[in-house]
Structure 1
Amino acid sequence: MEFLNWVRGPGLEYATVIFLVGIFMRFIEMWLIGRKPDLSRPRASASRAGWRAVWRRSLPSEGLMKNSPLVLIAGYVFHIGFLLVLLFFIPHIQFFKDVLGFGWAGLPSPVIDFLSILTIAALVALLVHRLVDPVRRFLSTSQDYIAWVVTTLPVVTGYMAMHMDVVPYTTMLALHILSVEILMVVFPFTKLMHAFTFAVSRYYNGAAMGRKGVQL
């Protein structure tokens, strides 16, 4: 019980501070890097091309669907499933309500269970593909595997806390919360940060290409 109280109290507070400060520092870092002014005459609207890039690069790529359908499908399943479980599991909503002061309708537990299993299966499939594909294995770094572990653990421990009696419920719940806090601490300093920066980077690249007259 003391472990559960710690992860619910000081542990969560420390993780939240590191998470928010880390994200703030990363954005400040990107802003300080800046970019050299482009003195050339623009050939097209940079802003329009930037927003077009954000939209088009969020859609499935024809080449990826043809060459690596597993990566594409599992990637979408993982991202959507993780987000739905995070935002629409009723105990999660209660937590957000306690923090934000308002909540929203949740999904039925069987639906959350199904999404959790799909998410875990997609994450395992992506890991196996990374390990067996020689190109992806060569390009992978320790950070890729760390990101996989800290992303997978909250889903697995959350499902185990609700459905498996491997250890007492309070211990499993504490481990679940701890895994979430580890994810929060690691998040700003790994590739997971792309969850906040993907739109910015896509807009920046699209705007730069659009200004040069490149068709996106």
Structure 2
Amino acid sequence: MEFLNWVRGPGLEYATVIFLVGILMRFLEMWLIGRKPDLSRPRASASRAGWRAVWRRSLPSEGLMKNSPLVMIAGYVFHIGFLLVLLFYVPHIHFFKDVLGFGWSGLPTPVINFLSILTIAALVALLIHRLIDPVRRFLSTSQDYIVWAVTTLPVVTGYMAMHMDVMPYTTMLALHILSVEILMVVFPFTKLMHAFTFAVSRYYNGAAMGRKGVQL
């Protein structure tokens, strides 16, 4: 019980501070890098091209779907499933309500269970593909496997806390919360940061190319 109280109290506070400060530092770093002013005559609307790039780059890539459908499908399933479980599982909503002061409607538990299993399956499929594909395995670094682990653990431990009597519920719940806190601590300093920067980078590249008359 002391372990659960710690992860719900000081542990969560430490993780939240590191998470927020880390994200702020990363955005500050990007802002300080800056960019050189483009003095060329614009050939098209940069903002329109930027938003077009954000939208089009978020859709399934025809080339990747043809050459590596598993990566494409599992990637979408994992991202969407993870987000839905995070935002629409009722106990999660209660937590957000305590923090934010407002909540929203959740999804039925059977739907959350299905999404959790689907998300775990997609993550496992992506790991197996990374291990057996020679090119992807060669390009992978230790950070890729760490990111996979800290992303997968919250989903697995959360599902186990609700459905498996592997250990006392309070212990399993504490491990689940701890896994989330580890994810929060690691998040700003790894590739996970793309969750906040992907739209910015796509817009920037699209706007830069669009200004030159190039369509992405």
After the TM superposition, list the runs of 4 or more consecutive aligned residues in structure 1 that deviate by more than 4 angstroms: none
Deviation at 1:37, TM superposition (A): 1.3
Matched position secondary structure for 1:127: helix
Percent identity between the aligned chains? 94
> What is the rounded CA distance, in whole Å, between the counterparts of 1:14 and 1:93 in structure 2?
21
Per-residue deviation at 1:183? 0.2
State the shift of 1:7 in Å. Answer: 0.1
> How far apart in 2 are the matches of 1:51 and 1:129?
32
SS for the counterpart of 1:166 is: coil
**Superposed displacement of residue 45, structure 1:** 1.1
How many residue pairs end up in the alignment?
216
TM-score by length of 1: 0.99
How far apart are the structure 2 equivalents of 1:108 and 1:49? 39
Partner of 1:159: 159
2:206/2:215 contact within 8 Å kept: no
Query: CA offset at residue 38 of structure 1?
Result: 1.3
Shift of 1:210: 0.7
Deviation at 1:202, TM superposition (A): 0.1
TM-score (norm 2): 0.99
Q: CA RMSD in A?
A: 0.6
The equivalent residue for 1:119 is 119
1:215 Cα offset (Å): 2.2
Query: Any residues of structure 2 matched to 1:137-156 within 5 Å, and which?
Result: 137-156=137-156
The Cα of 1:43 is off from its aligned counterpart by 1.2
For residues 100-136 of structure 1, the C-alpha deviation after alignment (integer angstroms, 9 at most, x for no partner) is 1111111111111110000000000000001111111
Question: Displacement of 1:196 after TM fit?
Answer: 0.2
Q: Distance in 2 between matches of 1:13 and 1:51?
A: 36
| CA offset digits 1:1-57 (Å, max 9, x no partner) | 000000000000000000000000000000000011112111111111111000000
Distance 1:5 1:134 in 2: 45
| Partner residue, 1:76 | 76
Alpha carbons 2:19, 2:184 under 8 Å: kept: yes
Residues 56-112 of structure 1, C-alpha deviations (whole Å, 9 max, x = no match): 000001001100100010000000000010011110010011111111111111111
Unpaired stretches in structure 2, ≥5 consecutive residues: none
With 172-181 and 39-48 compared, the bigger mean Cα shift is at 39-48
Separation in 2 of the partners of 1:49 and 1:94?
39
Which region of structure 1 is more displaced relative to structure 2, 178-187 or 41-50?
41-50
